[in-house]
């Protein structure tokens, strides 16, 4: 072959190779994220967090912890004869953090909210349930407004709910599942026919005697309206209306426990509009502790945490777990769905288990999981923080795409010295690589609709955006995210939908219209507030609040 022909054919092969290389390799090099300390101390520890539609975050820890570093306003005090530490307490154990001004104010809870659970109702109120001691049957409401505070009903629940998991339902009610020594569920609010406890033997079957491992079960609303419930090392699909288990999933390979105190985490992977819309759903469970780790940790032996994730298509007729290996082992990690559908695995420890003094070797580096990338190239280690985030740490997504991180409070009396991982009252923000200034040219900005728009199921929506730099209309998507109630490494109600964004039309200059269709029913997205993002080449815009009804 003459040299010229050889060179030519080499060039052709090279071009073919480049064309065949998946698109993502052409994505602009994104950094590995950055950290910012927002507040050295908000006075309480961020054990539970929920973002509300006014861009403020309700945060609380527990009331039987002694004095916090945040005073209640105007000399208000809580007198509680049943408090095990302090019966007259003039400090706050809940706070409202305002994202836009980076400021906070104290809130007042009346009973113990320790290890509780919650949802946001369709009208945007936080409905939080249970806790410890005098708070175990409480239902507390928080309405987002200026100066609002908790309202409480101490007899709102039929059973004590400590370490329970809640989920918002398509009809707007919330379901409260399990909790310590409760193998049942109940609804809030109740009708005459649901004014009772519904037994759930699955929670008893997955209850390791003496360890439990069935607490804070991972609950996800499937696209068929049933609830996926993962406890310990296996899962069921529950028709909660008929109190019937409609599917039993195989045990996760290895059989190691993934729920508290062997705290792993779990997300429902992004639900997608495809040609047959939203018929598939996948669940990812990551990290946790090897069987026996809890007993070992009690004896001072901190076993290396699990480094595996299990992924399962829960809508398959014959679902099977697909196992993947994380770059770092992790127990007590949080999993946060980012606006572009990537999963951030953040916080936690590399050995031990969940619980008081039970974790060791903080994992400072978050890891990104990209569900649509080929297996083997889905994980990416991110830049580390300097602050350990062990037991009782949390992470939630904010409207601007940052992730708010706080908590680390393994000590009674808010101990700050003389202990291995002192109580931490700080708040940090992790900015994923998509917020790098180098990507400003790619990042879309939503021109309209304006935030707080009300939308109907099945409604067409035109979203006008501008993109300063080169625009690739084939790489635009619209996503909506339900903000989660996060505690103990699990984000209740967290879900992301990738909407149809088939039609993109140029308007003028850098301005484009993207047409989309809202999900058809509350089975896919229960009525309420969501964050809507436009994503261009994996880089999300700032979100807008939508309320779907
Ligand atoms: C508290 O909740 C219970 C149970 O739902 C209800 O019967 C009762 O009326 C509520 N109390 C108040 C003051 O709203
Ligand atoms: C917390 O600190 C107090 C006083 O400094 C001390 O007496 C107590 O033992 C500490 N508690 C724990 C759990 O470390």
Q: Is residue 110 over pLDDT 60?
A: yes
For 375-409, the pLDDT digits (tens) are 999 999 999 999 999 999 999 999 999 999 999 98
Which residue in the block uniquely carries the two structure tokens 């993002």? 533
155 C-alpha to ligand 1 centroid (Å): 6
Report DSSP letters for 428-481, one per residue.
EEEE-GGG-GGGTTT--EEEESPTTEEE-TT-EEEEEEE-SS---GGGEEEEEE
> Atom 9 in ligand 1: which residue has the minimum CA distance?
156
Cα 348 to Cα 364: distance, rounded to the nearest angstrom? 8
- Please tell me whether residue 393 adopts helix, strand or coil conformation: coil
Q: How many CB atoms lie within 10 A of CB 502?
A: 11
Q: Is residue 20 over pLDDT 50?
A: no
Residue 153, ligand 1, Cβ within 6 A:
yes
Q: Which two tokens stand for residue 109?
A: 């809870």
Q: Do 167 and 492 contact (CB within 8 A), yes or no?
A: yes
Report DSSP letters for 146-187, one per residue.
TT---EEETT--SS--SS-EEEE-TTS-EEEE--TT--EEEE
154: left (phi over 0), alpha (psi -120 to 50) or beta: alpha
Minimum mean pLDDT range among 9-23, 107-121, 523-537: 9-23
Cα 100 to Cα 91: distance, rounded to the nearest angstrom? 25
Domains and CATH numbers, the chain: 28-435 (2.130.10.80), 438-548 (2.60.40.10)
Which residue in the block uniquely carries the two structure tokens 């590995």? 32
**∠ CA 209-205-251, rounded to 5°:** 110
Mean pLDDT of 177-184: 98
414 C-alpha to ligand 2 centroid (Å): 8
Phi, psi of 441, rounded to the nearest 5 degrees = -70, -25
Per-residue pLDDT band for 275 (boundaries 50, 70, 90) equals low
Candidate of 391, 412, 413, 420 to mutate for ligand 2, largest count of ligand atoms within 8 Å of Cβ:
413
68 C-alpha to ligand 2 centroid (Å): 14
Cα 117 to Cα 106: distance, rounded to the nearest angstrom? 20
Cα 333 to Cα 347: distance, rounded to the nearest angstrom? 5
Phi, psi of 33, rounded to the nearest 5 degrees = 85, 160
> Atom 6 in ligand 1: which residue has the minimum CA distance?
156
For 77-97, the pLDDT digits (tens) are 999 888 888 999 999 999 999
Minimum mean pLDDT range among 1-15, 208-222, 404-418, 427-441: 1-15
Residue 138, ligand 1, Cβ within 6 A:
no
Ligand 1 atom closest to Cα of residue 153: 1
Q: Do 543 and 51 contact (CB within 8 A), yes or no?
A: no
152 C-alpha to ligand 1 centroid (Å): 10
Q: Is residue 28 over pLDDT 90?
A: no
305 C-alpha to ligand 2 centroid (Å): 28
* Per-residue confidence (pLDDT) for residue 356, from 0 to 100: 87
SS3 of 70-129: CECHHHCCEECCCCCCCCEECECCEEEEECCCCEEEEECCCCCCCCCEEEECCCCCEEEE
Cα 283 to Cα 249: distance, rounded to the nearest angstrom? 12
67 C-alpha to ligand 2 centroid (Å): 13
Per-residue pLDDT band for 312 (boundaries 50, 70, 90) equals very high
Show Cβ contacts of residue 186 under 8 Å, excluding neighbours closer than 6 positions: 157, 158, 159, 175, 176, 194, 196, 197, 198
Ligand 2 atom closest to Cα of residue 412: 13
Residue 416, ligand 2, Cβ within 6 A:
no
Cα 57 to Cα 63: distance, rounded to the nearest angstrom? 19
* Per-residue confidence (pLDDT) for residue 27, from 0 to 100: 41
- Please tell me whether residue 188 adopts helix, strand or coil conformation: strand
Q: Is residue 374 over pLDDT 90?
A: yes
What is the DSSP pairing of strand 394-397 with strand 403-406? antiparallel
156 C-alpha to ligand 1 centroid (Å): 6
* Per-residue confidence (pLDDT) for residue 231, from 0 to 100: 98
Q: Is residue 16 over pLDDT 50?
A: no
* Per-residue confidence (pLDDT) for residue 274, from 0 to 100: 78
Q: Which two tokens stand for residue 469?
A: 């730099």
* Per-residue confidence (pLDDT) for residue 26, from 0 to 100: 38
Torsion, Cα 339 402 510 499, to 10 degrees, reads 10
Phi, psi of 201, rounded to the nearest 5 degrees = -55, -25
Q: Do 84 and 71 contact (CB within 8 A), yes or no?
A: no
Mean pLDDT score of the chain = 93
11 C-alpha to ligand 2 centroid (Å): 71
Residue 413, ligand 2, Cβ within 6 A:
yes
For 193-204, the pLDDT digits (tens) are 999 999 999 999
* Per-residue confidence (pLDDT) for residue 418, from 0 to 100: 87
Q: Which two tokens stand for residue 67?
A: 């004095």
- Please tell me whether residue 207 adopts helix, strand or coil conformation: coil
* Per-residue confidence (pLDDT) for residue 233, from 0 to 100: 98
Whole-structure pTM value: 0.93
Q: Is residue 178 over pLDDT 70?
A: yes
Per-residue pLDDT band for 209 (boundaries 50, 70, 90) equals confident
Residue 65, ligand 2, Cβ within 6 A:
no
Candidate of 410, 412, 415, 422 to mutate for ligand 2, largest count of ligand atoms within 8 Å of Cβ:
415
* Per-residue confidence (pLDDT) for residue 370, from 0 to 100: 98
């Amino acid at each position: 072959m003459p040299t010229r022909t050889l060179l030519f054919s080499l060039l052709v092969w090279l071009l073919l190779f480049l064309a065949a290389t998946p698109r993502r390799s052409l994505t602009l090099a994104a950094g590995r994220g950055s950290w910012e300390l927002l507040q050295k101390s908000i006075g309480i520890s961020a054990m539970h967090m929920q973002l509300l539609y006014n861009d403020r975050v309700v945060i609380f820890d527990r009331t039987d912890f002694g004095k916090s570093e945040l005073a209640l306003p105007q000399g208000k005090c809580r007198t509680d004869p049943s408090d095990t530490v302090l019966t007259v307490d003039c400090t706050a154990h809940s706070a409202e953090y305002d994202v836009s001004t980076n400021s906070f104010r104290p809130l007042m809870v009346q009973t113990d909210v320790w290890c509780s659970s919650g949802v946001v109702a369709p009208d945007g109120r936080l409905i939080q349930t249970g806790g410890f001691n005098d708070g175990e049957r409480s239902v507390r409401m928080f309405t987002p407004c200026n100066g609002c505070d908790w309202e409480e009903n101490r007899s709102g629940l039929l059973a004590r709910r400590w370490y329970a998991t809640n989920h918002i339902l398509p009809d707007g009610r919330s379901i409260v599942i399990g909790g310590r020594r409760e193998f049942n569920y109940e609804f809030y609010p109740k009708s005459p026919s649901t004014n009772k406890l519904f037994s759930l033997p699955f929670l008893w079957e997955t209850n390791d005697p003496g360890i439990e491992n069935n607490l804070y079960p991972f609950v996800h609303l499937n696209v068929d309206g049933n609830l996926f419930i993962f406890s310990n090392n296996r899962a069921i699909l529950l028709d909660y209306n008929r109190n019937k288990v409609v599917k039993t999933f195989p045990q996760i390979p290895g059989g190691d426990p993934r729920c508290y105190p062997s705290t792993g985490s779990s997300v429902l992977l992004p639900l997608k509009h495809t040609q047959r819309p939203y018929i598939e759903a996948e669940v990812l469970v990551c990290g946790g502790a090897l069987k026996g780790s809890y007993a070992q940790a009690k004896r001072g032996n901190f076993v290396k945490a699990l480094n595996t994730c299990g992924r399962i298509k829960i809508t398959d007729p014959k679902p099977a777990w697909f196992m993947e290996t994380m770059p770092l082992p992790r127990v007590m990690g949080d999993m946060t769905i980012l606006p572009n559908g990537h999963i951030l695995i953040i916080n936690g420890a590399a050995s031990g288990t969940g619980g008081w003094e039970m974790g060791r070797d903080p994992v400072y580096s978050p890891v990104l999981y990209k569900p649509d990338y080929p297996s083997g190239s889905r994980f990416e280690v991110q830049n580390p923080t300097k602050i350990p985030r062990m037991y009782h740490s949390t992470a939630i997504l904010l409207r601007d795409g940052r992730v708010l991180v706080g908590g680390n409070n393994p000590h009674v009396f808010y101990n700050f010295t003389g202990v291995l991982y002192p109580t931490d009252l700080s708040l940090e923000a992790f900015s994923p690589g998509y917020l790098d200034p180098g990507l400003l040219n790619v990042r879309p900005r939503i021109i309209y609709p304006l935030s707080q728009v009300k939308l109907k199921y099945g409604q067409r929506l035109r979203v006008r955006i501008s993109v300063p730099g080169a625009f690739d209309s084939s790489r635009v998507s619209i996503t909506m995210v339900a903000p989660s109630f996060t505690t103990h490494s699990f984000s209740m109600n967290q879900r992301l939908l990738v909407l149809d964004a088939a039609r993109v039309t140029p308007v003028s200059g850098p301005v484009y219209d993207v047409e989309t269709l809202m999900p058809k029913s509350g089975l896919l997205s229960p009525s309420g507030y969501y964050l809507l993002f436009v994503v261009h080449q994996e880089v999300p815009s700032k979100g807008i609040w939508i309320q779907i009804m």
